[in-house]
Amino acid sequence: MRNPKEVEKEDYHEFYKKTFNEFLDPLAYTHFTTEGEVEFRSVLYIPGMGPLNNEEVINPKTKNIRLYVKRVFISDDFDGELFPRYLSFVKGVVDSNDLPLNVSREILQESRIVRIMRKRLVRKTFDMIQDLSESENKEDYKKFWENFGRLLKLGCIEDSGNHKRITPLLRFFTSKSEEELRSLDDYVENMGEKQNAIYYLATDSLKSAKSAPFLEKLVQKDIEVLYLIEPIDEVAIQNLQTYKEKKFVDISKEDLELGDEDEVKERETKQEYNLLCDWIKQQLGDKVAKVQISKRLSSSPCVLVSGKFGWSANMERLMKAQALGDTSSLEFMRGRRILEVNPDHPIIKDLNAACKNAPDGSDAKRAVDLLYDTALISSGFSPDSPAELGNKIYEMMAMALGGRWGRSESDDAEASEDDSEEDGNTRESSETQVIEPSEVRSENDPWQD
């Protein structure tokens, strides 16, 4: 293998295309020699195009690494011995003098030399990706993230030993950067002085994240929130737990602390709405674990949050899709749900008056049921019976719109009477004899002579 100082960029690209039958230039490459306990030389590449299908993503047997011993080709059939699964997209050539020429699969799996080689290859790969992320050409790393970002997130789950190398490479949309991806370093650098956590929200799309009620108070306080919009994101972040001594916090879970609370006002509000919370809990029964005043809402009347150790709405949706019909574990892991109400919203103020003046009123009870169902949807959960929810909405619409545009109750009565008469005539006619169409004539039949 030639000295890196003697090789031009075009030579590396040509070697890559011929060796791996590629037609696109690589995004990046690194050529290095390691000395010491184990000596080997290697050229590694990041492809210019991502995997074409999911099988290539999850299958570590990609034949992307070619092993040579003393310049004699040995094998390209590896099962994770030289690279972990989440870095299986890396292509390259490795030449070692320390392995025997008759090396077998069993030797590769048990060899201390191979373990050392793997560790150094992985480290050099991360250095190459880090250099790509810091390069002046931002489009290159953007292309890399589009092609291989999901695989790096898989590394957050499968390789805890390299979290410190993986985390700076991650990119997410945020509440302050909805068009461009941002790094966690950028997020931490722009945090407020009193902010001691990295806040995130997991949803199924960027559009859902932008309109989620959980964001309202954080946006008002100018606190940035990470948008986790891919299925793997939430699990990846939960495996990281912290970054630069900042804990990751899900804003859709209970006990969200944002700081700067007015304790006196908070105590007065709880006292004012304590009866309402108990009344709503009584109406909803086991649907919620409790009802409490919200610290995260500013414009929505209520929101449904998950328990600290339960699944979020996003995780529940993903697990339902993978349950294969067995929902027994879903009920257990779903955990408790907590309804948080916004005391500054007109609907909550009206219900507060209703629970004091007409706690047994049917209209107020229907309003509480509908409030819960709408909170269920706006918070990202799925209603148990969409048809039942639709009927509740139609019923409330009928109450709100009744007679507003001049329609009177007598119109409904007349329509009801007409329907009854038509039903009677239908039953009567069904008992009479059948008349041939040719015999049917009206007094004003225009075609009758």
Instruction: Show binding-site residues for ATP.
Output: 105
User: Which spans in 292-434 are helix H?
Assistant: 313-321, 328-334, 346-357, 362-378, 386-401, 409-431
The pair phi, psi for residue 43, each rounded to 5°, is: -125, 120
Determine the residue type at 181: L
Residues 6+ apart with CB under 8 A from 335: 306, 307, 309, 310, 311
Q: Binding site membership: which residues?
A: 105
Closest CA to 15 of 74, 76, 26, 120: 26
Read off the amino acid at residue 215. L
Both tokens assigned to 111: 């060899």
Distance CA 254, CA 298 (A): 17
